[in-house]
Amino acid sequence: MSNNQGWSATLEGTTFQPDPASAATHGVVMRYHQAWRRHDVEALLALFDPQVEYNDFFQGRRIAPEDLRDYLQASMPAAGDESQVYTDRLRVDGDTAFLQYQVTLRGTEGLVSFRASEAYTVRDGRIVRVNEHASLIGQPQKPASEPQPRMAGSRLGLSARQLSLLGGDIQQYFQLAQPYLNPELDMPQVAAATGYTRNQISYFLNQVLGLSFYQYLNQLRLKHLLGQLDSATSVTRIDELARAAGFRSLSTFYRCFREETGLSPKAYLEQKAAL
């Protein structure tokens, strides 16, 4: 397979038209993704500001400039059945660009797909900030060949800049404040805490991350719990951790746990102990 295979919605052509008021930003992002398609890491790095702020919200970490080379190489779809498909047009607003796509990569357990988006901030011809958001979809049923249906952000009055701020603000709120530990958390509480409307929050979760509000909460709760398991020694202890992580229903916890790991909590601990 050539490097271009799997890119069913290209950045060139009528789908992605430059915003005349944002031509410089558009040009930089176009060059970035043309280099990405060629797997040209040197060209990618040349487009970053030396002190670029690269935030990976899926992993909850900031990528240091000296680590970007390895990070980018690991993120690129390789030959074979790995692919990346754009699911929305490139949105440009001043110095900010916003792009959504689905990527399929080969992991330790086979092919895994993610719904992802990237928000870029461009100044003086260089990318100074990247906010990368992603959500695990799971094992792909078949290769994606067409862009998925989308709801235009303009229906909510969201520009590229606002989408970038919205995504960053929401995920930083959840990572720093950890409100998901409250089993009674609901959408109005999140809206009040972040200053965004419920419709705007739902748009980001549903259309960008591909999750409902409660799916997102349970994903965060399970990630938090898995990070606590080093000291867990029994299923009873895991039940306690599940409640402490915000799961109100243990049946929901067990279902989410099996969907994420493919194992029951007991089998997961036994496998962990055998390593």
The answer to whether residue 157 scores a pLDDT higher than 70 is: no
Q: Which residue ranges make up each domain of the chain? A: 20-147, 212-275
pLDDT at site 232 = 60
pLDDT at 115: 82
**Rounded CA separation 115/104 (Å):** 9
Residue 32 β-bridge partners: none
CATH topology for 212-275 is Arc Repressor Mutant, subunit A (1.10.10)
Helix (H, G, I), strand (E, B) or coil at 199: helix
User: Residue written as tokens 């357990």?
Assistant: 109
Gyration radius of the chain's alpha carbons: 20
84 CB contacts (<8 Å, ≥6 apart)? 6, 7, 77, 101, 102, 103, 104
Residue with tokens 């271009």: 4
Q: Which CATH class is domain 20-147?
A: alpha beta
Strands (E), the chain: 48-56, 61-63, 83-86, 91-93, 96-107, 110-123, 126-138
83-103 tens-digit pLDDT: 788 888 888 888 999 888 888
Where does residue 224 fall: left (phi above 0), alpha (psi -120 to 50 degrees), or beta otherwise? alpha
Q: pLDDT tens, 164-197?
A: 778 888 888 998 899 999 999 999 999 999 988 8
Report d(CA 275, CA 270) in Å as an integer.
Answer: 9
Residue 261 has pLDDT above 50, yes or no: yes
Residue 73's pLDDT band (cuts 50, 70, 90): confident
Measure CA 175 to chain center.
14
